[in-house]
Structure 1
Amino acid sequence: MEEKQAVIDGSTPHRYQRLRRRDVVMSSVWNAIGAFVGITFAFLVVNQTEVWSAQRLQSPSTSSATQSEYTGQTIVAAAPKDLDFQWKCIPPPPPYLVADSRIHSHPVVLAALADIEISLRAKSLFSKDAFSVSVVHASKGKIFDFHSGRIRTNESAEDSPASVDGDSIFRIASITKLFTVLEALILGNQARLKSFSPELSLGTRLKDVLPEFRLPSAFKEEEDTITLAHLGSHTAGLGRDIGELEIESLDKISYPPPDDLDLFEDFPHNRTAEETLKLISERDLIWQVGQNPSYSNTGFSLLGLAVEKYHDKLFKAGKGFSTILKDDIFTPLAMNHTFTGPIPEHLRKHVTVPASKNFVDKVFGPVHDPAGGIFSTTNDMSSLLHKVLLASKPLLISPAQRLTWLKSQHQFTDGISSVGIPWETYRAIMPDYSVYNVYFKGGGLPAQVSQISTFPEFGYGVIALTSIGLTEKEFREGGNITDPTAVSFQIHNTLAPALWVAYNSILVQDYVGIYVSGDGFAKITFKDSMLVLEKFFAKGVDVLLKYDEIIWTEAGKRPRVYEAGAKLFATAFEGQFRATIMGGCPWVGFDALTTKTGWGVDKVVIKKDEAGKMALFYEPMKSKLYKVA
C-alpha cells in the first residue's frame, strides 16, 4: 500500500505547486447599475503567495508563444506535441465518493482550510466590513466558517458591539434567483409525485403556465416559444429592469451624483403583477429568444408569477410567492433566519446594517421578490448547499433534476465563462489539467454584496456574504471593500487542488492493486491521474485484447488502443466503472455490446463483497477476482 500511495504522493506536490505558481487569473468587473447588481469575474488560480493577477486567463498548458502563433487549424483533435501534457480527458471523482468522510478530514484538506483561515484573518485586520464565510462539504455539511466585523457598522462600536456570526442576516439580493428556479423544480417534482398533468419542467412554455403573458405584436412567435429555462438563464431576450431606472438624458448623470438625483430612490417600483405584465407587453425584445444571455430581473418576476400560478393549479391554495418559498424551501431546510418581505421583529437584532446608503429596510413589492427579495445567513445557505446541491440524495428535488439544473446553457467565446439557470459559471483547471465548471450566483444591493458557489464534482461549495462598513463618502471615493466573489475565488483556488489530492489518494487506497482468482488476473494502477485497468485476463482470455477486436469487427484491424490499458470511468452507482480508451473523451461506446442479461462488456464492478473483501466482478466472463495486494 505504501508503494501505491507513493504513486500519488510522489507526483502530486510537483503538479500542485506547478499549478499554483501560475498567475492564471481573473479579470473582474463590478457592474453597479441597478439595485440587483450583476457581479462577474473570470476564474483565477492564485500562486502560493496568493498574489492576485489581473492578466487574461490562459490555459496553464499553453504558453503565450503558442497562443500567438495561430496555425490555421480551427479544430485541433489533440494537444500540440511540444506541450507538457497529453489530451487525456481525466474522469471526475466517482460521484459516490464525494460524501466520503475521509475527504474533508484528509491532512492536505485540513492544511488548505488552515491557509484559508490565515488569509481571511489577515484580510479582516484591514477591513471595516461585516462579512461571513462558510465552506460546505457533501460528507459533513459545514467544514469551515469565518466571521468578521460588527452587525451594525452604521453605529459606533460602543453603541453596537455585537459581532457577526453564522446567524447574522444579509440581503442576498440576486441569489434569490436560485430559490426561484429551485421552486420551479420542486413544483415539477411535486406534480410528478401527485401524477398531476401537465407536469412542470424548465422546458415548459411560459404561455402554458401564464397565459396572460404578452409581448408586442411583432414578437408573437417569440412570445409563444419562451420557456421557463429561457427566463431562468436570462436568454428570453427581455430587458433588465423594464420600467425601472429611467432617465431623460445622460447629461443628468454625474459622479458623485448630485443630491437631487437618486436612481434607486423609488427602485424597484411597487407595481402589481398586472402593471408589470402590461409594461412587458409594450416593450420590444432586445435579443432573439435563446440568442444571447441578457441579465433580466424582469424575467425573474415572470418566473415568480409562473411559479405562483402553477402552485395554485397544483394545490388550489392561492398562496403568494413568499409563502410558497417558506413552505417548500425555508421550513424543510430549517432555514429559520431566511425570509422575504418586512424584517420579522424577532430577527431584527440579527440583521447586518451597512455604514453607507443601503436597502436593508426597503420592502420590495411581491412581483420583485423572485428577482432579489430574500434575506439569509451563511448558516441557512449552508443547509441549502449541503442538503440540496451536494447531498448524494438531494432533498426537495430528484438527482436528475439537479443534474439538469447544474449545467451551462450558454458558453461565451472567452472559453472561460458561461451562463446556467441562473448560474454564472467559470472554468476551473485542476492540477492534472482536467477542466470543470464551477457554479456561482452573486447578488448585490447598495452596500451589501453576496456570493454562493459550488463545485459539484468535488462535493463542496462556498458562501460569502458582505455588509460594507465604509461611510457613504469613503464608498464613493473608491475605498476598499471585502469582495465576496474575490474571497470565493481565493477559497476555491486553495481548496479545490487539495480536494483533488484527497480524492485521488482514496482512489489509490481503495482500488489500486492486483486482483486474482483461480483462473483470472487483473492489475489496476493509478496513472496520469486516472485509475487504469492495465491488465485483465479472465478464464484464459485477454479481455483488453477482446476490446480491441470488438472495434476491429466494425472498423477493420487497426493499431491497438487498449494495449496500454483502459481508464476506468466511475458512474454514480457504487463501485461501477466503465472501461474506455485512454485518450480523449469517448462517450458513444458505453453498452454498445452487452451480454444477454444486459451487462455491458465495458462494465467493471469493483467493491466489497458480502464477506467484506474487495473484489472485481465481470459478468461477461463470469469472473470474480479478489484484491490481494
Structure 2
Amino acid sequence: MEKQWITPHRPQHSSRWSYPFNIFIIALIALTTAWYSLNLTPLPLFTTRASICHTPLPPIHAYGPLGDDHPALLRAGKQLERAIQSRWKKGTIDSINLAVVTAHGSVWEISQGPLRPNETDPLERGAVDRDSMYRIASVSKLFTMVETLVLQQKGVLKLDDPVTRFFPNFTYVPYECPTSTCVPTEPITLRQLASHTSGLARDLPAGSATNWPHERSGGGPPPINDLPFPDRDTVLQSIAATPLVAAPYTAPIYSNTAWSLLGACNVQANKLFGEDTSPSTHWELLERDVLVPLGLNGTSFLAAEELKPRIAVGSAYPGEVELDFLDFSNPAGGQFSSLHDLAKLLTSILDPSTPGAVLTPYTLREWVRPMHAFGDDNNEVGLVWEIMKFQDSYGTRQRIYQKYGNLESSHAAIAINAEAGFGVALLTTSPQSQTAPIIEDAIKAFQPAFDRLRQERAMTMFGGAWELPPSRTRNASEARISFKQGSLWLDRLILNGTDALQLLGGRKGASGRLWWTGSDQFRIAVDLPGYEGCLGQWATLDEYGRKQGWAINSLVFKGPASHRSLHFPAAALALRRKL
C-alpha cells in the first residue's frame, strides 16, 4: 500500500500573539539581510563535526593466528548465516560459495546450491563445494594485476612504463581530436591501464548503436555488443582509430580494453626482458608466476571436458561457461576460479609471509592504496581496486578494497579490509547479481568481530599500566596506555620524574596516541590545537630531536605478552607492566 503523507493538524494560535509575532519575524529578516549585505560574508549554515585521528596499528595477524572459536567470530558467523539464508529463501540465487578469510585462512565458509540448477536428475544437478569452479568475469583483473606486480618485482617491467616500451607502434587518438591524424604527446602507462585512468574506451572495437534513439544496442563487451571476442591486432587498430574518452590521468573511465592491453603488455614484456621467455600467453604466464606458487588448482580459462564436473552453471544463461574470451580478452574477464583459490589468494594478500606468496611487503604497500577519490566521499579507485568506505565499531570509515565481476549468470567478488585484517571471497550463480549486498552482509557481520579482536590483541600486547620504580640514580617512570576510538592512547607518560607528554605537546594536559611505524615500534603522536584529524600529528610526527640515535618520541615493545617490556630508547629507560 502506498504511503500517504498527510499534513498534521496545527492548532490555531491566538490572534493576540500572531500580529506582533509576524512583525518581529519581518524585522528580524530585514536586519539579517542588511547585515549580510554589508559584511559580504556567508552565514555559517553548515557545521562539520571535528574528525578524530585513527592512528595506525600493527596488523592483527602479527601476533599469531586467530582462533575461529572466539565468541565474537561465532556470533558474526551466526549473523551472516541468517542473512544468507534470508536471501536464499527468496529463490533468486542458484548457488553460493562464500568465505571470510584472514591471513591464516578461512574463519567462516558456506557452500550451498546445485552445480547445474536446470537439471532435474539429482545426480546431474550435483552440489557446489569450495572446489567448484565459477566464471569470475572482471575478478580476472585481480589475477592480472598480481601478475603485473610479480613482473615488476622481477625487473621485467615497471608500472610507469609506457605501452610503447613493449609495442613501439602503439598509438591512440588524443582526447577531443576530430581525426585520427592527431599525434599523441602524452604516454599511456601500465599504471594508467591498471587504474582505469588511461582514457581508453571501455570495449573496443565498440558495437554499433544502429537504431538509437529508438533502441539501445551495441553496448557492453563481447558478445553482448553483438561482436566476437577480438584478437590483439584488431584491438590495437581500433585504439589507433578511436579518440580517448578522457585525457590520461583525469577522471577514471572503466575500461576492459585497458586491462586486456595490460595483459598483452605483461606477455610481451616477459618475451623481451624476462629470463624465462617460454610463456607465450597470459594463461601460461599466470600459471608460472601465480597459480603454481600459490597452489591454485581451480583456475582455468576454458571449460575443458575434464573440468566440467566441477563447473557451476547458472540457470539464466548456462551457455556462458562455454565462452572462449581468447587470449587477448582473458586478462580482463575470461577466467574461472574456485573458493579454494580465491581464499588462498586473499590470504597471501593479507600476509605476504604466507607460504608460496608471490608479492613482497613493499609491493603490497604500493598496491593496496587509493589512486583517485570520487566526489561522493565514499568511493575511490586504485590499481584494480573499487574502494568503498565502511564505518567500523568506532565510527571510523575504513577502506574496503573490492573487485566485482558479473556475467549474465555468474557473479564474483573479492573484498579486503586490509587495516582490520580480513577479506571476503564470493562466488554465485543467479539470474541477477547480488554480490554487492552479500558482501555488505559479510562486512556488517564480521567488522565488529574483528574490531573486538584488534582491541583485545592491542591491549594484550601494548596496553595497561607500565612502571619503572625510582632508584638512587633516577626518579620514577610510568606510562598508561588505553584503547579508545580504535586507537592506542597514551594517557600518561612520566619519564625520570618529568611529564613527557607536557614537553612533547608544549602544554599541560597534552594527550598522545601511539602511531605504529613497523614491527613493535611506535611514535608518540601528540594532538595539536587548531588541527582536525591526523594532519597535525602527521606533520609533526618526526619534528623532534634525537638522542642516542633515537627520536625522543620513539618507543619500542619487546618480548612476548607474558614478559613484555616498554622501552624509551632516547631516555635509556625500560618499563615493565604494573602488577
TM-score normalised by L of structure 2:
0.83
Measured against aligned partners, the alpha-carbon deviations of 1:3-24 in whole angstroms (never above 9, x if no partner) come to: xxxxxxxxxxxxxxxxxxxxxx
The corresponding residue for 2:539 is 588
C-alpha separation between the residues in 1 aligned to 2:59 and 2:559? 17
Confirm or deny: 8 A CA contact 2:56 2:487 kept in the other structure: no
1:331 to 292, 299, 304: 292
**Residue 359 (str. 1) matches residue 320 (str. 2):** yes
The corresponding residue for 1:27 is none
The corresponding residue for 1:201 is 158
1:532 to 480, 489, 512: 489
Amino acid at match of 2:201: G
C-alpha separation between the residues in 1 aligned to 2:296 and 2:126? 22
The corresponding residue for 2:400 is 438
After TM superposition, the structure 1 = structure 2 runs for residues 25-64 of structure 1, keeping only pairs within 5 Å, are none
Alpha-carbon offset, residue 543 of structure 1: 1.6
The corresponding residue for 1:511 is 462
The corresponding residue for 2:516 is 570
The corresponding residue for 1:622 is 572
Amino acid at match of 2:142: L
The corresponding residue for 2:422 is 460
Q: 1:159 to 1:527 in 2, by over 3 A?
A: closer
The corresponding residue for 1:195 is none
**Residue 153 (str. 1) matches residue 103 (str. 2):** no
Alpha-carbon offset, residue 458 of structure 1: 0.8
C-alpha separation between the residues in 2 aligned to 1:528 and 1:496? 14
Alpha-carbon offset, residue 622 of structure 1: 0.3
Measured against aligned partners, the alpha-carbon deviations of 1:57-98 in whole angstroms (never above 9, x if no partner) come to: xxxxxxxxxxxxx9767998xx54xxxxx5321224422646
Confirm or deny: 8 A CA contact 1:608 1:614 kept in the other structure: yes
Confirm or deny: 8 A CA contact 1:390 1:456 kept in the other structure: no
Measured against aligned partners, the alpha-carbon deviations of 1:129-149 in whole angstroms (never above 9, x if no partner) come to: 333333343342111111221
**Residue 544 (str. 1) matches residue 501 (str. 2):** yes
The corresponding residue for 2:257 is 298
Q: CA RMSD in A?
A: 2.8
Amino acid at match of 2:263: G
Measured against aligned partners, the alpha-carbon deviations of 1:438-484 in whole angstroms (never above 9, x if no partner) come to: 0111111121111111111111111111112x5xxxxxxxxxx4612
Out of 455-464 and 209-218, give the one that drifted further: 209-218
C-alpha separation between the residues in 1 aligned to 2:375 and 2:448? 26
Out of 437-446 and 590-599, give the one that drifted further: 590-599
Alpha-carbon offset, residue 160 of structure 1: 1.8
The corresponding residue for 2:451 is 500
Q: 1:594 to 1:457 in 2, by over 3 A?
A: same
Q: Which has the higher contact order (CA 8 A, sep 6+)?
A: 1
After TM superposition, the structure 1 = structure 2 runs for residues 243-254 of structure 1, keeping only pairs within 5 Å, are 243-250=205-212, 253=215
The corresponding residue for 1:117 is 81
C-alpha separation between the residues in 2 aligned to 1:159 and 1:628? 65
Q: 1:149 to 1:251 in 2, by over 3 A?
A: same
C-alpha separation between the residues in 2 aligned to 1:177 and 1:510? 38
Gaps of 5+ in 1: 1-69, 81-85, 192-198, 471-480, 550-559
C-alpha separation between the residues in 2 aligned to 1:621 and 1:486? 52
Q: 1:350 to 1:488 in 2, by over 3 A?
A: same
Alpha-carbon offset, residue 370 of structure 1: 1.1
Confirm or deny: 8 A CA contact 1:99 1:391 kept in the other structure: no
2:376 to 388, 395, 414: 414
Amino acid at match of 2:569: E
C-alpha separation between the residues in 2 aligned to 1:75 and 1:615? 48
The corresponding residue for 1:346 is 306
For these two proteins, the number of residue pairs brought into alignment is 516
1:370 to 320, 324, 331: 331
Alpha-carbon offset, residue 363 of structure 1: 0.7
The corresponding residue for 1:90 is 54
After TM superposition, the structure 1 = structure 2 runs for residues 313-332 of structure 1, keeping only pairs within 5 Å, are 313=272, 314-315=274-275, 316-332=277-293
Measured against aligned partners, the alpha-carbon deviations of 1:527-579 in whole angstroms (never above 9, x if no partner) come to: 44432222222223322122134xxxxxxxxxx2x724311122331x21211
User: Sequence identity of aligned pairs in percent?
Assistant: 25
Amino acid at match of 1:238: L
C-alpha separation between the residues in 2 aligned to 1:251 and 1:584? 50
Measured against aligned partners, the alpha-carbon deviations of 1:173-213 in whole angstroms (never above 9, x if no partner) come to: 1011111111110001122xxxxxxx522222222233221
Q: 1:367 to 1:93 in 2, by over 3 A?
A: same
After TM superposition, the structure 1 = structure 2 runs for residues 187-198 of structure 1, keeping only pairs within 5 Å, are 187-191=151-155
Amino acid at match of 2:550: W
Alpha-carbon offset, residue 99 of structure 1: 6.2
C-alpha separation between the residues in 1 aligned to 2:45 and 2:197? 27
The corresponding residue for 1:173 is 137
1:286 to 240, 245, 267: 245
Amino acid at match of 1:567: R
Q: 1:482 to 1:363 in 2, by over 3 A?
A: closer
TM-score normalised by L of structure 1:
0.76
C-alpha separation between the residues in 1 aligned to 2:334 and 2:119? 25
Q: 1:160 to 1:187 in 2, by over 3 A?
A: same
Confirm or deny: 8 A CA contact 1:132 1:165 kept in the other structure: no
Alpha-carbon offset, residue 396 of structure 1: 1.1
Q: 1:292 to 1:452 in 2, by over 3 A?
A: same
C-alpha separation between the residues in 2 aligned to 1:487 and 1:619? 48
Q: Secondary structure at the match of 1:438?
A: strand
C-alpha separation between the residues in 1 aligned to 2:88 and 2:59? 36
The corresponding residue for 2:150 is 186
Q: Secondary structure at the match of 1:289?
A: coil
Q: Secondary structure at the match of 1:359?
A: helix
Confirm or deny: 8 A CA contact 1:91 1:570 kept in the other structure: yes
